[in-house]
Structure 1
């Protein structure tokens, strides 16, 4: 008899799977649905444990991948020949490796998350740090390939991991907190680079930059091993009742794997890979990444090219636009959860980004172009909304794993174009790159509207079929037997 069976002496009710969480010593009885305040209290405990950690880790990940732009202005080109298209290739090769290894993000479901994440964090922290030892373009290229492989196994899987702990109508804000780590990394990355370039010593400033920004990641791998919970049932900071409450709200309008937290159900993964609704968010993500992924590599250079600031000042001035982006992400994701809408807010962020790129393409004054950067970077808010939107479309954990693989694989092709739309020959205005970026921002807005209309149509169709607007707890294997995992209302 399994451990789960030993803990399930209770009578069957509609909440029977939650009851299985109680120990044999607990008093028998039906599960009492939690109050709204009780749910909020459990969510606050989850937030305190999970959000600071995933936010900080993603900040470190983005910092380690995007500090190349700061290193360039900190003297990297003096020691390593980056003439011609060599610099662009450093950005491109990272994303080639990142794309080819997107499937590794499913390791968050296949293995225990704390072991998987700690191993991956240590791997990328080590690679990010030893970039300081390279002496040639080839060596730096090898580091960027390995960094892409390591980070593909981390970041793309975190949104799936968060869906194990939060209700689907509240996971958007949590995805926003997670993804805002990228905006914060780009903000303090610019400020940190500004400070590091003031250091004088035997090591070149760009080497110090890689060391200071890479070593902390290795340390945090230890924190992840001991601090990151694997699932609701294995979250020791929650008592038995709180675990039952958490499973109750996580399973509302989606399915939960109880007793089978680790291990993919490949039939469901395949369903997520084949679902047409997995591909529109992927195309939106592609458009976002064409517009945004290249910015951390080129914003310091763009600001420097305005002619009003030194290279050191340009590093520092690259921070404020990302700081604003951090707050915009948090606000839009909060409102998205509040109104239970994803598409309209995704389109709003994309249109704002498009306006910024158009201003940069059409204006030549420093003040306007710098202001426009504040608008351009807001396209990144759409990424946070797409993460929660993908989770909301697919009911089971394994199907979400497949859908996130589609999202990330298609989406991460965007930087292959984005990192090559700002060639040195287009300096200092990079008008062609700005127009291309604006066009893809508008594509994101249009696709967001299309997907919203599709989901509204599907919801109305399910309403006519009698599919309830709110579905209570149903464990995945039970749902598969009944065929009910295929029907649930969408958040559009």
Structure 2
């Protein structure tokens, strides 16, 4: 017996040992597993956080920056340079989201292929496309760029929350989803500040061309980083030792099933179950409502601020940053609290209510300062998106079923921007009353659906109480006993 094993024997009584078989890399191993202490679990999660979260956060920030900089480029001279007359600018947003919607199924690539290869390839593609937007000379060329940019980004952003569920416990993945999705808020804050600086650059290239290059080229470099640093699975996580991998398997499989012997490849039957599950559709409708309200903001917030009549275009780009900075910290806070209290619905609904109040204030006031303040509230709808990502993962117990659930969530949800990007037509400026009231209504819809889904899941948990389904199912229940049909049900986090 190794020194490490001897030490474990001293720390844990014999009754705590669990003999089980597991298949790792195709080999059957029988081992005496010592359940981890809370301190051991925290140490492994900390290692995963250091390796995974900064990278996926940074890549998502670049993704959102490359997709949402169109609003800043418009104020930096794009509209005049390529003659975006009529409704051409609004159509660019519509084209992007049509492509984004029809490409949502690409998120399954994170399960079907090796994640480090899949991720680095799609990041390189979108970085290249984002950069060559600087060379467009016509509206048609820009439309083509936005279409393929959307396809590449659909293969990245919607799949990362799914990928993170391979590594984290179901009751702790919410905070990691929150940090990841907060990259969008940070991108919009950074994008506004960067655009403010770029609009003051005078050189051989137009400011909007410099904007596309400065924000697109770094993405290509980070594709290389993703290739070398992103692990494919717990088994391939070289930064974890064998004991740490066992601990990771143990907590990831708690109340959900882990594909230990099949790291890559989808289980089609389970994917279809996720696609058909009625509980997949309510989060999708909620995501739709969030996106109606939020998707319009990066495109139109700088314009709305500029048309309040108080600030010029350059200052408006700069002033669009602070609301997103507040949103960044708010997302981190509610995601942390959601994990701590093991609740998704109340925090999702609260964030939607705050956003609704912001839109209502904006629609009801004509004072520039008041309207600007209201945008700090409106952007908090994005916190509901972060919570929905974790909530969807918590509803589905297997990796392939989660792939189906996330596909429903993303496909329905990403239809929201089709409406959101068209409710602020130039003809309705500077107050955009209709668009603001529509956004408020959808925020309220998200709050109502949060309550409905929470009550449904509470009801399902009470049914499982009566049926004797255990509160906690460990690795042995979910990965081994489940193969014989035992403990097919699991508790929901509401």
Identify the match of residue 111 of structure 2 among 101, 109, 115. Answer: 109
Identify the match of residue 316 of structure 2 among 294, 314, 317. Answer: 314
Tell me the residue number matched to 1:32: 34
8 Å contact from structure 2 (residues 24, 261) kept in 1? no
How big is the alpha-carbon RMSD for the aligned residues of Structure 1 and Structure 2?
1.6
Identify the match of residue 337 of structure 1 among 336, 339, 346. Answer: 339
8 Å contact from structure 2 (residues 351, 380) kept in 1? yes
CA distance in 2, matches of 1:372, 1:23: 58
Note closer, same or farther for the CA distance 1:372–1:47 as it changes in structure 2 (3 Å cut): same
CA distance in 1, matches of 2:144, 2:214: 20
Q: What SS class does the counterpart of residue 486 from structure 1 fall into?
A: coil
Q: Aligned runs of 1:182-201 on 2, under 5 Å?
A: 182-201=184-203
Tell me the residue number matched to 1:402: 404
Deviates more, 1:30-39 or 1:76-85: 76-85
Tell me the residue number matched to 2:418: 416
Note closer, same or farther for the CA distance 1:477–1:469 as it changes in structure 2 (3 Å cut): closer
Note closer, same or farther for the CA distance 1:15–1:113 as it changes in structure 2 (3 Å cut): farther
Q: Report whether the alignment pairs 1:374 with 2:382.
A: no
Q: Report whether the alignment pairs 1:51 with 2:53.
A: yes
Tell me the residue number matched to 2:20: 16
| 5+ residue gaps, structure 1 | 1-12
CA distance in 2, matches of 1:484, 1:295: 48
Q: Deviations over 1:207-228 (max 9, x none)?
A: 0000000000000000000000
8 Å contact from structure 2 (residues 293, 442) kept in 1? yes
CA distance in 2, matches of 1:201, 1:231: 47
CA distance in 1, matches of 2:194, 2:257: 43
Q: Aligned runs of 1:7-156 on 2, under 5 Å?
A: 16-17=20-21, 29-156=31-158
8 Å contact from structure 1 (residues 99, 413) kept in 2? yes
Q: Structure 1 residue 29: deviation in Å? A: 4.7
8 Å contact from structure 2 (residues 23, 260) kept in 1? no
CA distance in 1, matches of 2:253, 2:479: 13
Tell me the residue number matched to 1:242: 244
Identify the match of residue 365 of structure 2 among 363, 366, 369. Answer: 363
Q: Deviations over 1:395-415 (max 9, x none)?
A: 000000000000000000000
Q: What SS class does the counterpart of residue 30 from structure 1 fall into?
A: strand
Q: Report whether the alignment pairs 1:288 with 2:297.
A: no
CA distance in 1, matches of 2:19, 2:425: 59
Note closer, same or farther for the CA distance 1:330–1:18 as it changes in structure 2 (3 Å cut): farther
CA distance in 2, matches of 1:350, 1:418: 16
Q: Report whether the alignment pairs 1:354 with 2:356.
A: yes
Q: Structure 1 residue 20: deviation in Å? A: 5.3
CA distance in 1, matches of 2:135, 2:47: 42
| 5+ residue gaps, structure 2 | 1-16
Tell me the residue number matched to 2:302: 300
Q: Report whether the alignment pairs 1:202 with 2:190.
A: no
Deviates more, 1:246-255 or 1:482-491: 482-491
How many residues are paired up?
478
8 Å contact from structure 2 (residues 123, 223) kept in 1? yes
TM-score (norm 2): 0.95
